[in-house]
Amino acid sequence: ENKSLKMREQHDRVKNENRESHQHSSSSVLVDKLAPPWRIAFAMGASLSTFLSTVGLILNDDWWAAVANCFWIFSGICVGSVVTSNPRNFHEERPIIVLVTLLVGIPGILSGWQLYNSMEQGVEVQTMGIVAFVGGVFFILLGPPASLAVVKLLGELSDRRLHKFIMGLFRSLPSTLGATLYVSAEAGRCIIQAEDGVPILQQCGNPLAPTFFVAIFLGTTWVITTVIPFIQPPRDLKWSSIAQLSMKLHESSHLGLMITFSALTVVMYAFVYEDGDVITGPLYCLGVLFMLVFVVLVALVTFESVVMPCLNGKLSLSSESDLTESRESTRSRKETEIGKRGRVDSDAFSWGVNNSGNSSQNII
């Protein structure tokens, strides 16, 4: 028994030494920004909608302007990836952040102006131009200040938290950009193949409208899952609270809106007709409901990320980041202790488990 006990202690000591050396090697390669070639590639995607709308304005071609609107959300996600991919150098990056953020608003203004002045396209297309123009002005005015504020908060993260953000950002982009590009290309293909002399919305209202709403969903969920968790204080929400529906009002509202938002997107994508059709009554009603849920969800996320931290006096994330790091260290120690006795419970989404096997840490 003594020999077996000594062998076990020696094995645990070697295992702990290997773990510490692995943690040391991992901490020496913490990533705090994306490489310049990646940023250049995403910047090219960010300028796609601006390029298409500029060509449409120069050629006085409504079709180019409509195609530019198809790829507006795709370019917006690329803009977000560029401006948030080097937050540690915030002061040197401020001109780049402002200029790249303007690429969200410029396509709306250019394509909106082109579509509004297109008399032969009808009132529906002119209305779409007005909406695009107003949206472009909105992003021109509010986009740069919001981007600067977000990047500044990200720059205050600890090294480990910033590493997690950058790697999460990089891993999320292939799937998000790929899906957004796919649904946007469906509408773009319909517009390119449409006949001259017939209004765009009469030929390609569907898939133009439903694919744009699906792209909005992809962009919104990307922001909520990739960026928002790192610019707001850690939540006190636990999986047990979700399972028992014992949550605060804004948390339960957030969950309900996300479920509704996702369900509406699935139904919206089922309405997509790639060969082209008009916007039917059910699709119109579904689009109005979708935008209503979207506006309320954005307002709620803004309340949780901006208003509540200000009311609670949490204007800086440095102390929150340190708290999160200490929680991660605590989790590592607990996992080591539990691993020696045999894991009682495992939850991929929780921060850890206590000695009783119940979830004891917060989830993000």
CA distances from 272 to 173, 179, 192, 284 (A): 24, 15, 17, 13
Give the percent of the chain with pLDDT over 70.
Answer: 76
Q: What is the pLDDT of residue 7?
A: 67
Average pLDDT of the chain is 81
Q: How far is it, in rounded angstroms, from Cα 33 to Cα 80? A: 14
Lookup: tokens for 144: 């740069």
Q: How far is it, in rounded angstroms, from Cα 40 to Cα 116? A: 33
Q: How far is it, in rounded angstroms, from Cα 48 to Cα 44? A: 7
Average pLDDT (328-336) is 51
Q: Who contacts 166 (Cβ-Cβ below 8 Å, separation ≥6)?
A: 31, 32, 33, 34, 85
Q: How far is it, in rounded angstroms, from Cα 193 to Cα 203? A: 10
Radius of gyration over alpha carbons of the chain, in Å? Answer: 24
Q: How far is it, in rounded angstroms, from Cα 238 to Cα 225? A: 17
- In one-letter notation, the amino acid at residue 234 is P
Q: What is the pLDDT of residue 345?
A: 40
Q: From the CB of residue 111, how many other CB atoms can be counted at a distance below 10 Å?
A: 31
The larger pLDDT score, comparing residue 16 to residue 164, is at 164
pLDDT tens figures, 261-298: 999 999 999 999 988 999 999 999 999 999 999 999 99
pLDDT tens figures, 226-244: 999 888 877 667 777 778 7
Q: From the CB of residue 137, how many other CB atoms can be counted at a distance below 10 Å?
A: 14
Q: How sure is the predictor about 361, in pLDDT bands with cuts at 50, 70 and 90?
A: very low
The larger pLDDT score, comparing residue 190 to residue 249, is at 190
pLDDT tens figures, 102-138: 999 999 999 999 999 887 778 888 889 999 999 999 9
pLDDT tens figures, 4-52: 666 666 666 656 655 554 554 444 578 889 999 999 999 999 999 999 9
Lookup: tokens for 204: 């390609």
First-to-last C-alpha distance (Å) of the chain = 45
